[in-house]
Amino acid sequence: MTDQEKILNEVTGSDYKFGFQTNIDTETIPKGLNEEVVRIISAKKEEPEWLTESRLKAFRHWQTLHMPDWAHLKIPEIDYQDIIYYAAPKQEAKYESMDEVDPELLDTFNRLGIPLEEQKQLAGVAVDAVMDSVSVKTTFQDILADKGIIFCSFSDAVKNHSDLIKKYMGSVVPYTDNYFAALNSAVFSDGSFCYIPKGVRCPMELSTYFRINAANTGQFERTLIVAEEDSYVSYLEGCTAPIRDENQLHAAIVEIVAMENAEVKYSTVQNWYPGNKEGKGGIYNFVTKRGICKGDNSKISWTQVETGSAVTWKYPSCILKGDNSVGEFYSVAVTNNYQQADTGTKMIHIGKNTRSTIISKGISAGKSQNSYRGLVKVLKGAENARNYSQCDSLLLGDKCGAHTFPYLEVNNRSAVVEHEATTSKIGEDQIFYCNQRGIDTENAISLIVNGYAKEVLNKLPMEFAVEAQKLLAITLEGSVG
Amino acid sequence: MLEIKDLKVNIEDKEILKGINLSVKAGEVHAIMGPNGSGKSTLASALAGRNYFNITHGKIIYEGKDLTELTPEDRAREGIFLGFQYPVEIPGVSMVNFLRTAINSMRKYRGQEPLPAGDFLKLMREKKKIVEIDSDLTNRSVNEGFSGGEKKKNEIFQMALLEPRLAILDETDSGLDIDALRIVSNGVNKLRSPENATIIITHYQRLLDYIVPDVVHVLYKGRIVKSGDKSLAKELEEHGYDWIKHEVDAHA
Ligand SMILES: Nc1ncnc2c1ncn2[C@@H]1O[C@H](COP(=O)(O)OP(=O)(O)OP(=O)(O)O)[C@@H](O)[C@H]1O
Ligand SMILES: [Mg+2]
């Protein structure tokens, strides 16, 4: 077989490989949520008994809960009975050619520098069988398989690695954790599973693959990453391209387990549809992300660039259980027009000599509201725990809001906890200075904002840092002057 | 090159410039002096296009164009450079990135390709020599944590790099030590040519020993009340502004 044939084979055979069957392709179930619906979802996915039971338990618990209202967010009432909880992954393309796609969307793709083939996938245009990203994806999987790394959809993992899923799913974010975690645990659609065996350094960013796949994971996404002793992985979720979705409500769970000496770097670029300039439409994004540094000397590092969604409710957290373990949170959250974001982190120090760093950069423009909410908790046994938090807010214009809610609970006298916060306005002076050097106002804002967020952007994998910079500029377009 | 005719400028309904007339020809250096608060920086900013300034009357013609119709960035691209009295800090934005963006914006305006990174760095190195600026400074964020004198030197460095046709230097000499003053003046002199013009705003005649002006103007209460050659600066140094103030206020 020639290379080309091989690839063709891979691609045409991949429907089967990924377990999508034609008979569920066209199926959706009626609106609403009850035990029956939960059972149907589980049955459609051919899940084992224990998982069906676990979903039902979560559902029953969810019924006893109320939507949290402590966040600095104004959320219209959500009718949970008006949502379809199962829609089979759609394989057909929405459009025949790029000519049919919204030109504004294409313009954004181009300005972000996204390759054409990938643009097609993201926009839902039919693609040729021989496609760069697909061939990349397959060679990619060979390399991973060689190292014993498991990286597959959550559904596949349930089928093929049931023991691992059973052992770790819900071990970091139990279904009892909060309202949205309970909901997700009952009805999660799909997501990713990643397992790095002992002593293995994952040789590449797990990103290209995921970017392509992100489009089909559904509204209740579930991700689980397990890094065994002495392993390392850098993982990137989401993409800079604007993603539209008919589903307004998104409630994802991400769990990370890091064993002794393991390191997990998790980077997110989130750019869901934020709604129009008047604040209509847009995704509600309620995410529970948490990692546990289970073993000594382990490290979990969250980096996020949040520019999308109408409402963001998200607190990637670290439980620092192992001695000498390290938790990091680097965040840029941008809100424009009527967007609202309440985001931050929790660092729970349990082990001795545990260290955590929080760098949060909020940018508010338009009539948006942007809040940082962070908890640093040092338990009794956490001798010599250290935390450094820096929370900066940048305001563009005077109709937006920035808020900081730091919470501290320190139960060990040897702990050292530092917190710094600043609020600044993007200065007319700075913009005029740039103008006077020939730089127009849009570019000036882009320069200034990227400079402000540099500490965080530097933490992103290289190829995404460049896109993220452009993304910040595009998100803030027209917000000053 | 520059023709200012009866220019009146308001800031928040207060008239700051009350009818400025000034004509600058290519190849000339003009010095503007005057007491604090007389409107020197306001005039400089009005030329550069600061937007909260309200031009209520008069005209600014630059190279035959009505300057007031151009945005600040287009004025810069047309060759107007303002050396700021108080240069602004832009945290996190490296000098290299800032200047590269600036140069390429200007090149784009002129229909030129962006300058390749290698050429740009070479150009930076050359121009750094002119103002004897520390390499370390250009690796830092724009003006962030620069000393007062370093900020001023940095303005001249940028001027050298951007090669303006009309440079307006607003108290670039304030806060410079003696050596820096010499370096900065040398820099300005090197950039002097028959095609370019410079307007120097200063309080000290000492600078004018280094950069010899063709004309010296005195700005007082929003008007140019006296113009002369460089001996006027000497006179001011010796006698202060009182005699001029008396002259003007007696007429008013
Ligand atoms: N943004 C502003 N808002 C209100 N008043 C202003 C503003 N800028 C300048 N002024 C006023 O305009 C007048 C002229 O100020 P300007 O800065 O032009 O003086 P100057 O001649 O440059 O003084 P100096 O020698 O102290 O630099 C002053 O009375 C000043 O207070
Ligand atoms: Mg001044």
What pLDDT is recorded for position A90?
53
- Tens digits of per-residue pLDDT, A446-464? 899 999 999 999 898 876 7
Pick from A435, A443, A452 the residue to mutate for testing the B interface (most B CBs within 10 Å). A435
- In this predicted structure, the answer to whether residue B89 has a pLDDT above a threshold of 90 is yes
Residue with tokens 């990643």, as numbered in its chain: A194
Give the angle A290-A171-A414 at the CA atoms, nearest 5°: 60
Pick from B75, B81, B86, B88 the residue to mutate for testing the A interface (most A CBs within 10 Å). B88
- In this predicted structure, the answer to whether residue B144 has a pLDDT above a threshold of 60 is yes
User: Between A159 and A135, whose confidence is greater?
Assistant: A159
Ligand 2 centroid to residue B155 C-alpha, Å: 15
**Residue nearest (by alpha carbon) to ligand 1 atom 16:** B39
Q: Could you list which residues have their CB under 5 Å from ion ligand 2?
A: B 40-41, 85
CB atoms within 10 A of CB B19: 16
Q: What is the DSSP letter of B183?
A: H
The Cα–Cα gap between A201 and A314 comes to 29
Count how many domains chain B has.
Answer: 1
pLDDT over 70, % of chain A: 80
Secondary structure class of A446 (helix, strand, coil): helix
Burial classification of residue B203, based on how many CB atoms lie within 10 Å of its CB (0-12 exposed, 13-18 middle, 19 or more buried): middle
- In this predicted structure, the answer to whether residue A247 has a pLDDT above a threshold of 90 is no
How many angstroms away from the CA of B167 is the closest CA of chain A? 11
Q: Which of A428, A435, A451 sits opposite B90 (nearest CB)?
A: A451
Rg of chain B on CA atoms, in Å: 18
Q: Residue B170: nearest ligand to its CA?
A: 2
Among B7, B12, B40, which residue has the most ligand 1 atoms within 8 Å of its CB, making it the best to mutate?
B40
The Cα–Cα gap between B62 and B79 comes to 10
How many angstroms away from the CA of A189 is the closest CA of chain B? 41
Test A434 with B81 for CB contact under 8 angstroms: no
**Model confidence at A9, in pLDDT bands (50, 70, 90)?**
very low
Ligand 1 centroid to residue B41 C-alpha, Å: 7
Q: Two tokens at A399?
A: 């109709």
- In this predicted structure, the answer to whether residue A405 has a pLDDT above a threshold of 50 is yes
How much is the ipTM here?
0.96
- Tens digits of per-residue pLDDT, A34-81? 999 999 989 988 899 999 999 999 999 999 999 888 888 888 888 888
Ligand 1 centroid to residue A423 C-alpha, Å: 27
A217: left (phi over 0), alpha (psi -120 to 50) or beta: alpha
What pLDDT is recorded for position A120?
67
Test B93 with A448 for CB contact under 8 angstroms: yes
The Cα–Cα gap between B48 and B187 comes to 22
- In this predicted structure, the answer to whether residue B21 has a pLDDT above a threshold of 90 is yes
CATH of the domain at B151: 3.40.50.300
- In this predicted structure, the answer to whether residue A121 has a pLDDT above a threshold of 70 is no
Q: Residue A374 in contact with residue A360, Cβ under 8 Å?
A: yes
Q: Which of B87, B91, B102 sits opposite A451 (nearest CB)?
A: B91
Cα–chain center distance at A265:
13
As a whole number, the mean pLDDT across chain A is 82
- Residue list, ligand 1 pocket, CB within 6 Å: B 11-12, 16, 34, 36-42, 85
pTM, to two decimals? 0.81
Find the domain containing B96 and state its range: 2-251
Q: Two tokens at B8?
A: 């009146």
The Cα–Cα gap between A403 and A423 comes to 9
Mean pLDDT confidence for B149-174 = 93
What pLDDT is recorded for position A19?
23
pLDDT over 90, % of chain A: 48
- Tens digits of per-residue pLDDT, A136-182? 455 677 788 899 999 888 888 999 999 999 999 999 999 999 999 99
How many angstroms away from the CA of B215 is the closest CA of chain A? 26
**Residue nearest (by alpha carbon) to ligand 1 atom 28:** B37
Test A441 with B73 for CB contact under 8 angstroms: yes
The Cα–Cα gap between A124 and A48 comes to 32
Q: Two tokens at A148?
A: 């014993």
Burial classification of residue A470, based on how many CB atoms lie within 10 Å of its CB (0-12 exposed, 13-18 middle, 19 or more buried): middle
